[in-house]
Amino acid sequence: MRIMHLSRASIMVWQFLLPLIEEQTRRGHNVSVCGSDDAYADTLREQGIHVVTHQLERSLNPWAIVKAIVCIKRHIRAQEIDVLVCHSPLGAGVGRLAGWWAGVPCCVYFAHGLPCVPGQNKIKWICWLLIEKSLARMTDALLVMNQYDEQLGRRHLMTSPQQVTRVPGMGIDLARYHGGSSQAVRQQLAQSLGVSQHAKFVLCIAYMIPAKGIYVYFQAAQKICQVRDDVVFLIAGDGPHEKALETAAFATGLGDRFHVLGWRDDIDELMRACDIFTLPTYYFEGLPVSILEAMACSKPVVATQHRGCEDVVVPGETGCLVPVRKASALARALLKCIMDEPLCRRLGEAGRRRVEREFELTHCTRVIADAIEKACVR
C-alpha cells in the first residue's frame, strides 16, 4: 500500500514516527510524509524518506488553511495514496478534508490526544467535539492512546465503536532508557549547575507553555525550597515561556535552585541523573512519552489526575497523581518522595517493569502498524 503520514510539523514525525515508518516499510508498504518545510523535513529526507510539504502554520487563518488543503490534495493524488494517516489536531483536521476531497480510499486519524480535554472550558469542549464529530464522517478509523479518548471516540465521534482502536502509545526504547548507573552523569550535571551532586534532583521535561504545568511546578518548587535546602529543580524543553520562567526563577531568588535547561538532546542521561520525575500537565495529552521514559529509567513519577497520565501512572505502585493546577498538592507529593528513598526505589522499579511489560518500542510499533492495516480492510 502507498501510505502517507501527515502532520502539521515535521519535527513530530522525526521525534515519534520513525520506528513506525521503518516497520511499515519493512512490511513492503511505500511510505511518505507530508509535513512542514524545515530542517526536520531535510533530516527525514536524509534518512531516505520521501517528504512533501504543505506550508501549514500553527494558525487558524482561513486562507492559509484553504491553501494547505489544496496543496495536500494535490500531493495525495500525485502519489496515488491508498492510506492517509493524519496526526495532531490541526494537521488531522486539514488532512482529512484534503483526503476526502482527493478521494483517498482510507483515512486514519491517529489522535495523540483529542482536543476535547477533561476540565476544559465547556463551550470550548463542545466546539471541539462538534468539529471532531463533523470530521469523523471523513474518517475510516480512529487510533487513540488513552481510555478517555477511546470512550469519547466510541460514544460520540465514530459511526461504529469498531472504528476506534486504542494503542499503547509510540513505545519506549528500553536500550536507551534504562536504570543503569548515573553517577558520572550526575556529577557532571551538578558541576555544570554549580550545585552538590548529593542534592536531590527533581526533573520536569515539557514544552514551555502554561498548560504543561510549568508554573505549577515552579510554585511547588518555591514551597519546597522554604523547608528544604538540599533539593534542586530542573526543567528541560523549549517553547514561548522558556525565558519568562527563567526570569521568574531569578526574580524570586531561586536562580540557584530552579534551573531552566532549555532544549536537550541527552534526555536519557538527565532521566538517569535525577531522583524524581514530575509532569504536572493539563494539556492535550495522549500518552505522555516523558513519563514513560522516566519510568523506563526506574524513576518515581509525580503527575496529575489527567488524561494520559492516569493511563500510565499507577498511584502507590509506580508514582503519585495529584489534582491539576494544585501547586500545594504537587509539593506535598514531591516532598513525600524526597523524604522516602525506599519508596522512590520501589516506585521506580515497578515503573520499569510496567514499561517492559506494556510499552516496549517494538511491541507498540507493531500494534500500531497492525491497527492501520486492519483499518484498510474493514
* pLDDT for the residue numbered 126: 96
Cα 128 from Cα 117, distance rounded (Å)? 9
Q: How buried is residue 364: exposed, middle or buried, by Cβ count under 10 Å (0-12/13-18/19+)?
A: buried
Vertex 286 angle, CA 280 and 288, to 5°: 45
Q: What is the pLDDT of residues 19-32, one digit of tens each?
A: 999 999 999 999 99
Nearest residue to 357 via CA among 307, 303, 308, 317:
317
User: How many CB atoms within 10 Å of residue 80?
Assistant: 11
SS in 3 state form for 46-81? HCCCEEEECCCCCCCCHHHHHHHHHHHHHHHHHHCC
* pLDDT for the residue numbered 58: 74
* Residue environment code for 216-226, b if the CB has 16+ CB neighbours within 10 A, otherwise e: bbbbbbbbbbe
Task: Give pTM, 2 decimals.
Answer: 0.94
Nearest residue to 276 via CA among 341, 321, 215:
341
Q: What is the pLDDT of residues 2-53, one digit of tens each?
A: 999 999 999 999 999 999 999 999 999 999 999 999 999 999 999 999 999 9
How do the residues of the chain divide into helix, strand and coil, expressed in percent and rounded to 5? 50, 15, 35
Cα 360 from Cα 28, distance rounded (Å)? 23
| Residues 318 and 354: beta-carbon distance below 8 Å | yes
Alpha helices in the chain (DSSP H): 10-12, 18-26, 39-46, 62-79, 89-102, 122-136, 147-152, 183-193, 214-225, 242-251, 267-273, 289-296, 309-312, 327-338, 341-358, 361-375
All domains in the chain, ordered by first residue: 2-171+361-375 (3.40.50.2000), 183-358 (3.40.50.2000)
Crossing angle between the packed helical segments 214-225 and 242-251, to the nearest 10 degrees? 20
* pLDDT for the residue numbered 182: 76
Helix/strand/coil for 194: coil
Nine-digit cell string for 106: 482510507
Cα 218 from Cα 199, distance rounded (Å)? 18
Partners of 166 in the β-ladder: 144
Q: Which residues of the chain have pLDDT under 70?
A: 378
For residue 163, what are the contacts with CB-CB under 8 A and spacing of at least 6? Answer: 139, 140, 141, 142, 153, 375, 378
For residue 58, what are the contacts with CB-CB under 8 A and spacing of at least 6? Answer: 8, 9, 90
